[in-house]
Each structure stands twice: as structure tokens, then as C-alpha cells.
């Protein structure tokens, strides 16, 4: 990597030795002779890209909001679903229906929280509203088979902090958008037992932005001194973008234990993603010789393994008008043990050390009359991260209260509305940030009053 520099220095000095070790390229500039680079210790790209990847995948990137009805019931539709959303909750439940069905909906998500760095208040994290669209279609086939097709998000996140908050060197704004297309085939073996299998086509788009060394004074490497006369010397912006499409599969089964009690099991496989994209570094550094521009653009890639998961659910019809359900999901987040970032000539491995966790939910649905149903649920979601990490998404266990209603506009047309409120427990973690001297500083990052609003709407149609 080479940078062309042209400096003008006012004074009688014959030579000016200038070193920017913190962006890991050492420059030797001589005003009387031809300027040249005599030593390169590390690359700007290696250092800043490593920082960019350092917070690429935070805790809690799973998305479980697959339908307005399912959200209001806390996802407790695994044992029995009875509409086209069975493609997501348990494709074996497609065999419950007798005719083709459609479902179209969306969920709006707004996460926010208070933040502190080293016990000093920071701007509130508020990424705005995110849209998660869903669609499902099921159709009966001859000989006891059913075909279904679904589109939904399994993972994703969005965070946004102030441009120059205390940990802008870790992240300023990040989005991960994932969407799955899931064709599935179900077969009814007996009147009480059905099985299903499907293919998951997963598309991931990743973007992150940060300001490396934001707020630091200029570091003069030859003398190992920080020059206080040049505060906030680093005006750098690092952006990383990438995407990938990969394949996975899912398996499911459902059992009608009694006329009123049903059991469902749904397994989702790992998905190996090879994220490929570009890294861009732009900006300048204030020095005694003036402002020195920095710039780089390189291709980049890293591999991640989306975890496998298994969900078990029970659904019970207490009365003809009252149904309850429960579900438990195990997710293998330990696949996020480390992220190995790769770029020609450089490498960086980020340890994460996540652990496997459970998610539990209970839900109830009551028919007030033939045209109106009311729904209520509670979910407890365990945080998989360790005490060291990044600021991409606030950590902490989550509690979710959901409620909603279903209104049969026609005998075969239902409108679903749902609202969920997520409460994130207060949490602390330590975030490492590089400094201009090449050292690493550890900062205590705390979140409190973390909440999310989820508003969902959907339309179900039975042929």
C-alpha cells in the first residue's frame, strides 16, 4: 500500500519526521529531498478493518417476529397453527388445513435505550423503525402431501448512536438485514402424525460505519508523544459493506396426542455464510505539517455460521373458544465463537465466545365471538453474549409482553393486529478500542431503560 504525500512546512527545519503509527503506516518525509516512505509497520487497512469487524455481530440478532398473530401469541404456534404461517412455525402443521391459504403481513420494530461509557451518560441509542415483511402460501397436493412457501427474516439488527459519541471508534451505525425464502413439503402419515422438510435460501446484507480514533490527540511516533496541541486530530470514517446468499434446511413434525392436545417440533440447520464486499477508509489527520489525507478501498470477506436451532411446542384447546400454548427454543449461538476476517495480505480474528441459550414463551387466544379473538403472551429471551464485546446492540436478557386481536372480516378473511413491548435488562460489558499509540483501551459500556416497540399487521385468507 502506498500513499502519495505532498507537504508544505513553514520554518527553518531541514527535515520533518512524521509517523502515524496508530493508523499503522510509518512515513518519512524530508522537505529538502525527494519524499519517500522508508518503512511500513502495518497497514491502515488491517488496523481499521479489524476495528470494523470487531463489532460486526452483537448479541440477540435473532428475529422471531414472523406474523401479527404469532407475535401476539409469543410464537406459541408450533404444536398447532391452522393458517399459512405454519410454513414458519411448523411446516408439518400445513396438514391441519383442508384448503389452500395465504398470509401477508409486516412488523415494525423500534429499539432504543440509554447508554453510558465509563459511568458518563451518552446519547440515547435509537435506530429508528425497521420493517420486517412476511408472506406465506400453502396448497394441498395429492396423496396426503402439502406444499408451502414462506418469506421472512431470521436474523437482523439496527443500531445508531451519535456521530461522535464516546465509542465512535467501535461503531456509529450498523444494520444487518437477512431474508429467508423457505419452500417446504409436508406429508400426513396418519390422522395424528405429520412430517415436513424445507429448503431455506438465506440472503444477508451487512453495513457498518465508525470513526477510528475519534476524539484522540495526534500521536508523534518518533518520540512516542501525544501532542496535546492537536486535539481531536483524527477525522477518519471507516465503512464496511458486504452480502451473501447461502442455503440451509429445516425439518419438522407434529403429533395430535389427543383431540385437544398437540405437540410440534421444528429444527433449523446451520447456514454457512461467506460475506463478501468492500472496505472503505476516508478522512484526514491533523499534524504539525498540516492535514494529511487518508484513503483506502479494498475487497473484504469473512465467514459466519448462522446457528442451528430447535423449537418444541405444545398447544391445548381448553374450550372451543379458548386455546393456550407454550414453546421453548434452543439456539446454538456458540457457533459465534470467533469471526476470522480475511483480506489479501492481512488477517484478523475476533473472539466472541457466545454460548447456547433458550427462549421460552406462553400464549393464550380467546374467541370473544365468532368474528373476534383476543391474544396475550409472555416471552423470556436469554442473552447469549459474554461480558466483553461491542456496542452494535445492547446486551441483556429480554422480557416480552405481547397482545393483539384477530378480526374475521369475512368467513375466509381475517385481519390480525399485534403489539409487543420488549424490556431489556440493564447490562454492562467491556469494549476494547484502539488508541493512536497502538495501545488498546477497555471501556465499560452500560445500557439501561432498553425497550423495543413492535407493531404488526397481517391478513390471512383461506380459499
Residue 335 DSSP SS3: helix
Supply the DSSP string of 245-268, one letter for each residue.
EEEEEEEEEEEE-SSSEEEEEEEE
**Residue 26 and residue 221: Cα distance in Å, rounded?**
8
- Residue-wise pLDDT tens digits, 388-433: 777 766 567 889 999 999 999 999 999 999 999 998 888 888 888 8
According to DSSP, the residues that pair with 141 across neighbouring strands are none
Which residue from 124, 184, 116 is spatially nearest to 149, judged by alpha carbons?
Answer: 184
Query: Residue 258: its pLDDT value, please?
Result: 95
Count of positions (residues) in the chain? 463
The alpha carbon torsion through 203, 88, 127, 205 (nearest 10 deg) reads: 0
| Per-domain residue ranges of the chain | 15-462
Q: What is the pLDDT along the chain (463 residues), one digit of tens a residue?
A: 333 322 222 232 232 223 333 333 333 333 333 333 333 333 333 333 333 333 333 335 788 999 999 999 999 999 999 999 999 999 999 999 989 999 999 999 888 788 888 888 887 777 678 888 999 999 999 999 999 999 999 987 777 787 888 888 888 888 888 999 999 999 999 999 999 999 999 999 988 888 888 888 888 778 788 887 888 888 888 888 899 999 999 999 999 999 999 999 999 999 999 999 988 888 998 888 888 888 888 888 888 888 999 999 999 999 999 999 999 999 998 888 777 777 665 455 666 788 899 999 999 999 999 999 999 999 999 888 777 777 766 567 889 999 999 999 999 999 999 999 998 888 888 888 878 887 888 888 888 888 889 999 999 999 9
Helix and strand numbers, DSSP H then E, in the chain: 3, 28
Report how far Cα 308 is from the mean position of its chain's Cα atoms.
16
- The gap from C-alpha 229 to its chain's centroid, in whole angstroms, comes to 40
* Of 283, 292, 287, 290, the residue nearest 221 (C-alpha): 287
The sign of the torsion formed by the CA atoms of 273, 105, 88, 385 equals positive
In CATH terms, the fold of domain 15-462 is Porin (2.40.160)
pLDDT in tens, 354-376: 889 999 999 999 999 999 999 99
What's this model's pTM, rounded to 2 decimal places? Answer: 0.80
With residues binned 3-state (H G I as helix, E B as strand, rest as coil), the percentages for the chain, rounded to 5, are 5, 60, 30
Q: Is 449 left (phi over 0), alpha (psi -120 to 50) or beta?
A: left
Nearest-angstrom CA–CA distance, 359 and 373: 26
**Rg of the chain (C-alpha set):** 27
Beta bridge partners of 162: none
DSSP run (H or E) holding 69: helix 68-72
Name the DSSP letter for residue 426: P
Strand partners, 150: 136, 182
Q: Do 339 and 350 contact (CB within 8 A), yes or no?
A: yes
Which DSSP category does 307 fall into?
P
* Helix runs in 99-217, H state only: none
Amino acid at each position: 500500500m502506498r500513499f502519495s504525500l505532498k507537504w508544505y512546512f513553514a520554518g527553518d527545519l531541514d527535515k520533518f519526521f512524521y509517523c502515524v503509527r496508530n493508523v499503522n503506516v510509518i512515513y518519512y518525509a524530508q522537505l529538502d529531498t525527494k519524499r519517500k516512505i522508508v518503512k511500513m509497520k502495518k497497514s491502515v487497512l488491517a488496523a481499521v478493518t479489524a476495528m470494523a469487524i470487531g463489532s460486526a455481530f452483537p448479541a440477540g440478532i435473532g428475529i422471531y417476529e414472523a406474523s401479527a398473530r404469532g407475535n401476539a401469541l409469543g410464537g406459541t404456534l408450533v404444536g398447532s397453527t391452522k393458517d399459512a404461517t405454519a410454513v414458519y412455525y411448523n411446516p408439518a402443521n400445513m396438514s391441519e388445513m383442508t384448503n389452500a391459504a395465504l398470509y401477508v403481513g409486516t412488523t415494525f420494530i423500534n429499539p432504543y435505550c440509554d447508554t453510558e461509557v465509563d459511568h458518563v451518560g451518552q446519547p440515547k441509542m435509537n435506530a429508528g423503525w425497521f420493517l420486517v415483511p412476511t408472506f406465506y402460501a400453502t396448497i394441498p397436493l395429492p396423496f396426503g402431501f402439502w406444499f408451502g412457501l414462506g418469506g421472512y427474516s431470521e436474523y437482523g439488527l439496527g443500531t445508531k448512536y451519535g456521530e461522535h459519541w464516546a465509542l465512535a471508534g467501535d461503531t456509529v451505525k450498523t444494520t444487518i438485514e437477512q431474508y429467508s425464502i423457505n419452500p417446504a413439503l409436508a406429508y400426513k402419515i396418519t390422522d395424528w402424525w405429520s412430517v415436513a422438510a424445507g429448503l431455506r435460501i438465506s440472503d444477508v446484507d451487512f453495513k457498518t460505519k465508525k470513526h477510528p480514533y475519534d476524539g484522540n490527540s495526534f500521536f508523534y511516533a518518533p518520540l512516542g508523544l501525544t501532542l496535546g496541541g492537536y486535539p481531536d486530530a483524527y477525522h477518519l470514517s471507516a465503512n464496511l459493506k458486504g452480502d451473501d446468499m447461502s442455503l440451509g434446511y429445516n425439518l419438522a413434525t407434529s403429533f395430535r396426542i389427543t383431540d385437544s392436545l398437540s405437540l410440534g417440533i421444528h429444527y433449523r440447520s446451520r447456514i454457512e455464510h461467506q460475506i463478501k464486499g468492500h472496505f472503505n477508509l476516508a478522512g484526514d489527520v491533523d499534524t504539525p505539517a498540516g492535514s494529511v489525507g487518508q484513503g483506502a478501498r479494498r475487497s473484504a470477506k469473512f465467514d459466519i455460521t448462522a446457528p442451528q436451532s430447535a423449537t418444541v411446542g405444545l398447544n391445548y384447546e381448553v374450550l372451543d373458544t379458548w386455546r393456550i400454548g407454550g414453546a421453548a427454543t434452543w439456539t446454538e449461538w456458540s457457533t459465534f465463537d470467533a469471526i476470522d476476517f480475511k483480506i489479501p495480505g492481512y488477517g484478523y480474528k475476533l473472539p466472541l465466545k457466545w454460548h447456547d441459550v433458550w427462549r421460552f414463551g406462553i400464549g393464550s387466544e380467546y374467541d370473544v365471538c365468532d368474528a373476534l379473538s383476543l391474544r396475550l403472551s409472555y416471552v423470556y429471551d436469554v442473552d447469549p453474549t459474554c461480558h466483553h464485546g461491542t456496542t452494535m446492540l445492547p446486551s441483556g436478557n429480554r422480557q416480552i409482553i405481547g397482545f393483539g386481536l384477530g378480526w374475521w372480516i369475512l368467513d375466509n378473511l381475517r385481519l390480525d393486529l399485534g403489539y409487543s413491548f420488549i424490556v431489556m435488562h440493564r447490562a454492562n460489558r467491556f469494549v476494547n478500542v484502539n488508541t493512536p499509540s497502538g495501545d488498546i483501551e477497555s471501556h465499560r459500556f452500560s445500557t439501561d431503560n432498553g425497550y423495543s416497540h413492535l407493531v404488526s399487521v397481517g391478513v390471512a385468507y383461506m380459499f
